[in-house]
Chains A and B, each alone.
Chain A
């Protein structure tokens, strides 16, 4: 089974609208971390937001929020008030375990978001 599943290869959203990018994960660890990264067409990988498995509140960073549903093993990224500059590939990633020995990030295949003016 895939550890990170992003079921939407491509998404379109109207400028100024909100959009949700889906991510489900599979792990038997109790301690893990979930990350979202943005990769614009220029190629860099930009860290957006982090959610720890023990965090009780959903993470938020500006226009980004993470809809964390632990029982369903989902960590969807919500982008509010979409902007043209949000057009990019978005990757969900998971780190299993805790401590220095937990360094592997497992990435999903990504979702390509296109913002329409």
Chain B
């Protein structure tokens, strides 16, 4: 079975540019999560969707970050404008239901120059 698919795997861009990260959750999973991982702060939950609806976006750092889930099989995380401090690994994860584990994608390694 296909796991969580993220694209791109790596992104290098200059500050001020718009960055869009993409995620395809595992088919049938009704919950989707975006995380950010840095050495300093570890894994941080940015936003949580349940049945395509954003439930908790309290982890989104600031207005420059936005996330959408237009349907059950696709989600995006957008940063506009990007800043060097946004450099991190961004993970998307999905789960089948509340008692099941979250399955992570391979992550997007983002570098903002």
Contacts and interface: CB of A to CB of B under 8 A. Distances in A.
B34 interface: no
Nearest to B103: A47
Given A43-B89, A107-B42, A50 B101 contact: yes
Contacts of A50: 101
Given A103-B31, A107-B43, A44 B98 contact: no
Interface string A32-56: 0101010000011111001010000
Query: Which residue among B56, B91, B99, B105 has the maximum number of chain A CB atoms within 10 Å of its CB?
Result: B99
Contacts of B89: 43
Interface in B68-113: 89, 91, 93, 97-99, 101-107, 109
Nearest to B102: A105
Interface of B: 31, 33, 42-43, 45, 48, 50, 55-56, 89, 91, 93, 97-99, 101-107, 109
Given A101-B98, A103-B33, A103-B50, 8 more contacts: A43-B106, A45-B93, A45-B107, A52-B99, A98-B99, A102-B98, A105-B45, A110-B42
